[in-house]
């Protein structure tokens, strides 16, 4: 599975969002194990934004970050204690726009399954892993109606144990699965209909 993921990303040309919005990046960490897993976090309930929501580790780009890969790795270290040198970056998927006005770029990285992780309790209350194959089972996908500026959308979401994976995190997850593992999950999200999307030259 990981070999196919890496090969697909190596040949993928990520979509670029043509905005002047502040930049952010998340890391989509995949464990290097016989049954690869994805690492997720749950935001602490006291946070002013995204409280209680499931997310990939990540955040806004700092002026000192040399690029968005640096942003994703730095934020992952700050949030879950994942050492930058323990991540093998293998590519990225298309940028998306959050409801808070950030241009978010997903960075894909492989980590050792035994890498110890520790939640920064100032920002998170949980770190958990989900087998990649779980998301490839159609019975685990739910589509919810969502309306934005008089336009209707059907947005994917997943329930895993006590966790709900939805919103922008689900959008980034599904695009990753579609690109790398032929998931063929419908992705009718606002980010893919807006006039500011353009392809990388």
pLDDT in tens, 22-79: 999 999 999 999 999 999 999 887 555 555 799 999 999 999 999 999 999 999 999 9
144 in Cβ contact with 157 (< 8 Å): yes
Domain 2-195 has CATH 3.30.470.20: no
* Contacts with 192 (C-beta within 8 Å, 6 or more apart), sequence order: none
The overall average pLDDT reported for the chain is 88
Report the b/e string of 135-162 with b at 16+ CB within 10 A. Answer: bbeeeebeeeeeeeeeeebebbbbebee
| Angle subtended by helix axes 2-10 and 167-181, to nearest 10 | 90
Residue 65 in tokens: 């970050």
Tell me how far apart the alpha carbons of residues 142 and 157 are, in angstroms, rounded to a whole number: 5
Query: Nearest 5°: CA angle at 85, between 38 and 78?
Result: 70
Q: Where are the beta strands (DSSP E) in the chain?
A: 16-17, 23-32, 37-43, 54-55, 58-60, 88-92, 96-97, 103-112, 124-131, 141-148, 151-160, 163-165, 197-198
Task: Assign 201 a pLDDT band (cuts: 50, 70, 90).
Answer: very low
Q: What's residue 196's pLDDT?
A: 40
Length of the chain: 201
Q: What's residue 192's pLDDT?
A: 59
Q: What's residue 46's pLDDT?
A: 59
Task: State the CB neighbour count (10 A cutoff) for residue 62.
Answer: 10
Percent of the chain with pLDDT over 70: 87
Task: Assign 150 a pLDDT band (cuts: 50, 70, 90).
Answer: low
Distances (CA, A) of 175 to 9, 61, 64, 178: 12, 22, 29, 5
């Amino acid at each position: 599975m990981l070999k196919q993921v890496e090969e697909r990303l190596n040949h993928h040309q990520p979509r670029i969002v043509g905005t002047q919005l502040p930049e952010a990046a998340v890391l989509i960490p995949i464990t290097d194990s016989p049954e690869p897993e994805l690492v997720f976090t749950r935001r602490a309930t006291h946070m002013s934004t995204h409280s209680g929501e499931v997310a990939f580790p990540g955040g806004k780009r700092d002026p000192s970050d040399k690029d968005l890969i640096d942003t994703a790795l730095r934020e992952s270290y700050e949030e879950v204690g994942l050492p930058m040198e323990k991540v093998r970056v293998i590519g990225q998927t298309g940028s998306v726009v959050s409801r808070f006005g950030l241009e978010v770029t997903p960075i894909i990285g492989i980590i050792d399954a035994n890498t110890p992780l520790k939640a920064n309790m100032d920002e998170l209350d949980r770190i958990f892993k989900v087998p990649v194959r779980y998301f490839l089972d159609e019975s685990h996908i739910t589509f919810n109606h969502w309306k934005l500026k008089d336009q209707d959308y059907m947005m994917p979401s997943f329930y895993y144990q006590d966790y709900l994976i939805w919103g922008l995190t689900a959008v980034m997850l599904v695009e990753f699965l579609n690109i790398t593992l032929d998931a063929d999950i419908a992705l009718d999200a606002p980010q893919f209909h807006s006039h500011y999307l353009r392809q990388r030259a």
